[in-house]
């Protein structure tokens, strides 16, 4: 193979020196390759769209246009969402529609809203649901295993699918198993049978949604198990590195990169996205590619900052950024649709001799042809994973020859992007003069780091909205009494890291509060839940000196044993368990408090009695961090003034519980340290 490549390159050199160029065929006379299944984005895995819902108008609608509106921006074909399971799933937790077996609610979270908004802009967009975690009641044995009772888990998922249809008129098209965790063949077959019984035969199963080599193990099982083969409609791999396996091809199933990209969305991230959108098919026969994540709408110091197709992490200012992946993906999404057909390898899809790739697709009615070309260089298109083998790209002149049903066309519309890394401005999704096709042939000069679309369609458009406002810091002072929300909504700006917090109306005697709802450990996705209590962040990881205050109350039933207020919380996501910070825990029933230097409570700064508290009533916790000191009070009574370690210098503010169980929070206040010091100076002291 290497000898043949060297001969090809040598012959190409001779041809170029004689004035010739490489010829590439676009020929459908022997039929097409695989069916194109679309390009999409993932909201979830987890809480990656958290800050989007509370953007002000018109900015919120503008952002949604860039993501979903056809022939405007990313124009995505697929929206994949997390089926919330009350567990940490990367950047936060997403609420389950069933916190317990007797609970069923479809107003929680923001994925319902996002699906509706996507469908509003593009009724043809496909919806794909996948759990990252599951509520703990699905395994009464207390195991981290959602498959022990397969009918129970299948019923839970089916209720989510039916809830989307009943309450939001959203049809779910695809359903997954368990994100990046071991699949269970019995569960997959049970899920298929239960879907059929529930009248949901149209819902297709994607499995196993695992990373690279772990994905392809299912192919061997599919090849030897006819019932499993019948149950699985699509084989979904995460970060396949543009390659698949022989067994994957043998199954005859469509092969998807059901999670891919996950790369910082600068120019290199855009190059990554452009390269894999082409080469997933060219190298691996992969027919759908879905980005994790859809939009970086979470606090920027949480894990995988800006790993979205665009960025919207400042709802209090309305600022957002349309990043390079939006426009590089548009080269494919605006000129294709699910159901188009790829051209076969060597007959319209393949690699160029001097680097880069091309794919051709035709509409099923035979009316339209689209060709997408990319020449992304190695260092300018690295994805976060897997490692990218070394290769070279050079400037080149290529010649295409069209044969078959499109041989008679005389013109192709041309759109071009070019990434520049030489301090010159990049070009994104620019419409150029059409390319003339003479006797089925045309020639192009390709530069390095180009993306080009050639198409018979005239519908492309680089949409635009007015420039968004400038970014601002999180506003202080900040006060939240939760009265503006509907029941079961998740309060804005709070980024729950374990547990699930929603607004509950206590009635005329008090009004609305934020309640922590999870009463047992979920079937978790990562180690954060090993803390065995709920946490909720807000603000900025850059904060050092800050004042935090909240009213807290134990639940009347299924209560936690305590609650906390905190500042300088440094870690979030799956690393939450290792976070430092200043945590002020209060245990009303035992009338004691503990101040710790980390969330795991292994570093104790201070502990002691609180004095008399309202055991089942409301108590006001106040915490001031200023310079190297932490000052705390409860119900306006001074409790401590301590020196804290130098390494705990900055982080989020937050509240939470000290165990799984219900607790209510109200009248949350953030102030700068100077204002907080004035408040603390008025506290009662013994």
* Active site (catalytic) residues: 180, 259
Q: How far apart are CA 592 and CA 158, in angstroms?
A: 45
* R_g of the chain computed on alpha carbons: 27
Q: Which two tokens stand for residue 414?
A: 């041309």
Residue 487 makes CB contacts below 8 A (sequence gap 6+) with 107, 502, 503, 504, 505, 512
Residue reference for tokens 């110091």: 301
Q: How far apart are CA 599 and CA 597, in angstroms?
A: 7
Residue reference for tokens 């698949």: 244
263 backbone dihedrals φ, ψ, rounded to 5°? -130, 145
117 backbone dihedrals φ, ψ, rounded to 5°? -65, -40
Q: How far apart are CA 40 and CA 290, in angstroms?
A: 4
Q: How far apart are CA 417 and CA 420, in angstroms?
A: 10
H or E stretch at 167 = helix 150-168
What burial letters (b/e) apply to 102-133, b meaning 16+ CB within 10 Å?
eeebbbbbbbbebbebbbebbeebbbbbbbbb
Residues 69/121, Cβ–Cβ less than 8 Å: yes
Q: Which two tokens stand for residue 276?
A: 């894999």
Residue 339 is classified by DSSP as T
Secondary structure string (H, E, C) spanning 511-538: CEEEEECCCCCCECCCHHHHHCCCEEEE
Residue 190 makes CB contacts below 8 A (sequence gap 6+) with 150, 151, 154
Residue 613 makes CB contacts below 8 A (sequence gap 6+) with 586, 588, 591, 619, 634, 635
Give pairs for 9-17: CB < 8 Å, separation 24+. Answer: 9/353, 12/353, 12/354, 16/397
H or E stretch at 68 = helix 59-68
Plot region of 155 (φ>0 → left; ψ -120 to 50 → alpha; else → beta): alpha
Q: Which two tokens stand for residue 574?
A: 């799956």
């Amino acid at each position: 193979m290497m000898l043949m490549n060297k001969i090809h390159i040598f012959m190409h050199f001779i041809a170029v020196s004689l004035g010739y160029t490489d010829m590439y065929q676009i020929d459908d006379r022997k039929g097409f390759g695989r069916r194109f299944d679309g390009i999409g984005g993932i909201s979830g895995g987890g809480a990656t769209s958290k800050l989007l819902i509370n953007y002000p108008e018109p900015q919120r609608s503008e952002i949604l246009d860039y993501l979903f509106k056809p022939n405007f921006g990313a124009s995505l074909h697929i929206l994949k969402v997390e089926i919330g399971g009350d567990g940490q799933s990367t950047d936060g937790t997403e609420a389950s529609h069933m916190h317990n077996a007797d609970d069923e609610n479809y107003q929680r979270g923001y994925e319902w809203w996002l699906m509706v908004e996507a469908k509003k802009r593009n009724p043809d967009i496909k919806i794909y649901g996948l759990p990252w975690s599951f509520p703990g009641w699905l395994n009464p044995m207390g195991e981290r295993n959602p498959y022990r009772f397969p009918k129970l888990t299948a019923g839970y998922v089916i209720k989510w699918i039916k809830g989307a249809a009943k309450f939001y008129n959203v049809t779910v098209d695809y359903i997954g198993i368990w994100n990046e965790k071991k699949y269970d063949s019995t569960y997959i077959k049970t899920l298929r049978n239960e879907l059929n019984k529930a009248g949901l035969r149209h819902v297709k199963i994607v499995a196993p949604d695992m990373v690279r080599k772990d994905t392809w193990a299912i192919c061997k099982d599919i090849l030897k198990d006819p019932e499993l083969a019948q149950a699985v409609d699509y084989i979904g791999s995460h970060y396949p590195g543009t390659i698949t396996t022989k067994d994957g091809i043998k199954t005859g199933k469509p092969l998807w990169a059901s999670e891919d990209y996950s790369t910082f969305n600068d120019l290199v991230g855009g190059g990554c996205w452009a390269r894999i959108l082409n080469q997933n098919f060219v190298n691996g026969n992969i027919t759908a590619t879905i980005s994790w994540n859809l939009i970086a709408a979470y606090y920027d110091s949480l894990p995988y900052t800006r790993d979205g197709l665009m960025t919207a992490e400042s709802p209090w200012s309305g600022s957002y950024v349309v990043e390079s992946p939006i426009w590089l993906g548009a080269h494919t999404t605006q000129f294709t649709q699910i159901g188009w057909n790829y051209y076969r390898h060597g007959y319209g899809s393949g690699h160029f001799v001097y680097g880069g790739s091309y794919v051709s697709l035709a509409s099923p009615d035979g009316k339209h042809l689209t060709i997408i070309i990319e020449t992304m260089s190695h260092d300018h298109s690295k994805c976060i994973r897997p490692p990218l083998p070394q290769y070279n790209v050079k400037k080149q002149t290529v010649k295409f020859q069209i044969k078959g049903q499109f041989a008679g066309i005389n013109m192709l519309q041309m759109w071009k992007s070019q990434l520049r890394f030489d301090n010159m401005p990049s070009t994104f999704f620019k419409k150029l003069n059409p390319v003339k096709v003479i006797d089925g042939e045309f020639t192009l000069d390709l530069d390095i780091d180009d993306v080009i679309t050639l198409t018979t369609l005239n519908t492309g458009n680089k949409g635009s909205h007015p420039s968004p406002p400038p970014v601002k810091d999180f506003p202080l002072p900040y006060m939240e009494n939760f009265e503006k929300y509907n029941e079961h909504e998740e309060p804005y700006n709070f980024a729950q890291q374990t547990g699930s917090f929603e607004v509950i109306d206590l009635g005329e005697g008090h009004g609305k509060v934020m309640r922590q709802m999870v009463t047992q450990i979920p079937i978790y996705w990562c180690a954060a839940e090993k803390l065995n209590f709920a946490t909720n962040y807000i603000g900025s990881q850059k904060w050092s000196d800050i004042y935090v205050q909240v009213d807290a109350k134990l639940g009347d039933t299924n209560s936690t044993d305590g609650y906390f207020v905190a500042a300088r919380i440094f870690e979030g996501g799956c690393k939450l368990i290792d976070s430092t910070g200043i945590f002020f825990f209060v245990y009303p029933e035992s009338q004691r408090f503990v101040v710790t230097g980390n969330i795991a409570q292994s570093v104790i700064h201070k502990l002691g009695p609180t004095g008399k508290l309202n055991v089942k009533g409301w108590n006001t916790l106040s915490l001031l961090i200023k310079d190297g000191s932490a000052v705390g009070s409860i119900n306006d009574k001074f409790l401590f003034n301590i020196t804290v370690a130098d390494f705990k210098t900055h982080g989020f503010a937050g509240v939470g519980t000290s165990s799984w169980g219900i607790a209510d929070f109200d009248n949350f206040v953030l102030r700068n340290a100077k204002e907080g010091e004035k408040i603390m100076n008025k506290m009662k002291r013994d």
